[in-house]
Amino acid sequence: MERAKEKKREKGKEPEKEKMRGKGKEKEKRKEVEKKKSKEKVKEKEKEEKRSKEEEKRKEQETEKEQFKGKEKKEKDNNSILTKPPLEPREKNKQILVLGLDGAGKTSVLHSLALNRVQHSVAPTHGFNAVCINTEDSQMEFLEIGGSEPFRSYWEMYLSRGLLLVFVVDSADHNRLPEAKKHLHQLIGTNPILPLVVFANKQDLEAAYRITDIHEALALSEVGNDRKVFLFGTQVTENGSEIPSAMQDARDLIAHLAADMQ
């Protein structure tokens, strides 16, 4: 009798056990779902961070591009470049011509003379670059013409109307000094009395020829007895620093020669 009752009680407990097992499985299932959701949230967060970094990088690249464009535009504005030269040189207000091979440092020298401070130029002059320099007594108008092959055809055209010639050479570029000499002598050969001021530039470089070497390499002793010839060693080093005394002396001399030629 007692055994029968015990069996009956055990039988009654079975549904409860099944119910408890069902609850346990459901709880485990919920944990799995929550775990899966948690992983998905972590992945989504990682994706969001990656998108944020990519967006930040993109904005930085755009900012760099804008800064580069602004710098390039500023450089062009500083150079006052005229991409298309006038058909004829101006009759009035004769200019001081600044010529020389490409890479000699003409623009850097010219802007440094104008500002009385070292002003580097990294962009080559593609065309014409007009700069006015004021002194205590007068205003000088300089015209630089690009030194690369396409622009050399304009050199002689403007030389006939120039007050004087400033010719810039790279003292450290030994291989191109013969080329510079050839073009210089071709230019001055058309005008036997035009004053000549030569800037032996980049004197700060270790490989630079000294003044006496430049004088010989350019054969300046052969430019004519009736011509005023001057040779200055120049350098444009630390940006923003005051120009060397030699460049100040050269500027004063150019102003004096220009006044005499007008």
Annotated binding-site ranges for Mg(2+): 107, 125
Tens of pLDDT, residues 174-195: 999 999 999 999 999 888 889 9
Closest by CA position to 93, among listed 157, 162, 38: 162
Is the same domain home to 205 and 253? yes
Is the same domain home to 132 and 146? yes
Instruction: Please say which residue of 19, 47, 79 terminates a domain.
Output: 79
User: What pLDDT sits at residue 195?
Assistant: 94
Annotated binding-site ranges: 100-107, 125, 147, 201-204
pLDDT at 84 over 50: no
User: What pLDDT sits at residue 243?
Assistant: 80
Question: Domain range spanning residue 18?
Answer: 1-79
| Number of helices and strands in the chain (H, E) | 6, 7
- Cα–Cα distances (Å) from 58 to 49, 53, 67, 72, in that order, read 14, 8, 14, 21
As for how many domains the chain has, the answer is: 2
Is the same domain home to 26 and 154? no
Instruction: Please say which residue of 38, 57, 79 terminates a domain.
Output: 79
Q: What is the residue-averaged pLDDT of the chain? A: 78
Annotated binding-site ranges for GTP: 100-107, 147, 201-204
**Can you give the length of the chain in residues?**
262
Is the same domain home to 127 and 245? yes
Q: Do residues 181 and 218 touch, judged by C-beta distance below 8 A? A: yes
Which residues does 223 contact at the CB level (< 8 Å), separation at least 6?
A: 185, 188, 196, 229
CA distance 137 to 132: 14
Is the same domain home to 56 and 94? no
Instruction: Please say which residue of 30, 52, 79 terminates a domain.
Output: 79
pTM of the model: 0.65
Is the same domain home to 64 and 163? no
242 Cα distance to chain centroid:
21
Burial 142-153 (b: 16+ CB within 10 A, else e): bbbbbbeeebbe
CA distance 161 to 41: 78
Q: Which whole number is the average pLDDT over 122-136?
A: 74
Q: Other CB atoms closer than 10 Å to residue 43's CB: what's the count?
A: 10
